[in-house]
Amino acid sequence: MTGYADFEEFVVARRHALLRTAYLLTGDHHDAEDLVQSALIKVVPKWARIKDRPEGYVRQVLARESVNRWRGRRWREVTTDVVPETMHHDSTDRIALLEDLRRLSPQQRAVLVLRYFDDLTEADTAAALGISVGTVKSHVRDALARLRNQRSDEERSAATT
């Protein structure tokens, strides 16, 4: 296994960008750091093969890992009858978007992040997640619809209080 210098160079240069994507995928600082770290560790055995163009593969591992992890932890999501009091305006747009993203399924969230943050094509998004282009399209459609509905609900709720 060779190429540590290349690996280190990549980590130094690209870790922050990976953390940004990971934060959108997880919505949590600790999880984002853990996700990036896990992805980087996973690619080490393959580094000799990908070192010329590692970014795509690392991001693929990152995206798939984020979806896989959720599979084992969905029990942590808690439903509640209590409506959050937080209302979203421009100043709290980040919080609102973060909450909206958290309400999406992990795969919907991953598709949305890869398409609209990392600017991958539908085909590249499909390849990164190991799903079909059709599934990417349907996830995008459903995710955008859910985001729109969530914001509409919030705005209605704000208007009545």
Partner 1 sequence: MDTLHDRLAELADDAPTGGAPAAELWARGKRAYRLRAAALAATLLVVGAVGTGVGVGLVDGGGNGSDLAPAGTVGISLPIEYPVGEELPDLGDTPGPSAAIWLAPGVGGGAPVAVGLVAETGTFGTLPIEVSYMNEDWERPALSPDGRRIAYASPSGEPIVHDLVSGEIYYWPEVECPGDVNQCYRWGTGGFTWFDATHLFGHAGAGDTHGYVWEPGTTPKLVDLITYAGTPYRGLYAGRDLQVIDDGEPLDLVCGSPVLNATLGTDYQGDDEMFDVPVLCDVLGVIGSEILLGHWNSDRVPGDWNDPNDGNGTVVALGIHSVAPPVNCLGDASRICPDLSFEDPALRRVVVTAGAPEWVTFATDLIGAALDADGGAS
**Site for partner 1, residues 33 to 92, rule: CB under 8 A:** 33-34, 36-38, 40-50, 52-54, 56-57, 60, 65, 68-69, 71-75, 90
Q: How far is the CB of 77 from partner 1 (least distance, A)?
A: 11
Q: What are phi and psi of 28, to 5 degrees?
A: -145, 135
Q: How far is the CB of 49 from partner 1 (least distance, A)?
A: 6
For partner 1, the closer of residues 68 and 149 by Cβ is 68
Contacts to partner 1 from residues 4-33, by CB under 8 A? 4, 7-8, 11-12, 15-16, 19-24, 29-30, 32-33
- Written as one letter, the residue type at 108 is Q
Q: What are phi and psi of 10, to 5 degrees?
A: -65, -45
Contacts to partner 1 from residues 112-141, by CB under 8 A? 112-113, 116-117, 119, 123-124, 126-128, 130-136
For partner 1, the closer of residues 132 and 161 by Cβ is 132
**HSE-up of residue 23 (Cα within 13 Å, Cβ side):** 11
Q: Both ends of the chain: CA-CA distance in Å?
A: 62
Q: How far is the CB of 46 from partner 1 (least distance, A)?
A: 6
For partner 1, the closer of residues 72 and 160 by Cβ is 72
- Count Cβ atoms below 10 Å from residue 105 Cβ, excluding itself: 15
3-class secondary-structure state, position 77 = coil
For partner 1, the closer of residues 85 and 94 by Cβ is 94
3-class secondary-structure state, position 75 = helix
Task: Specify the length of the chain in residues.
Answer: 161
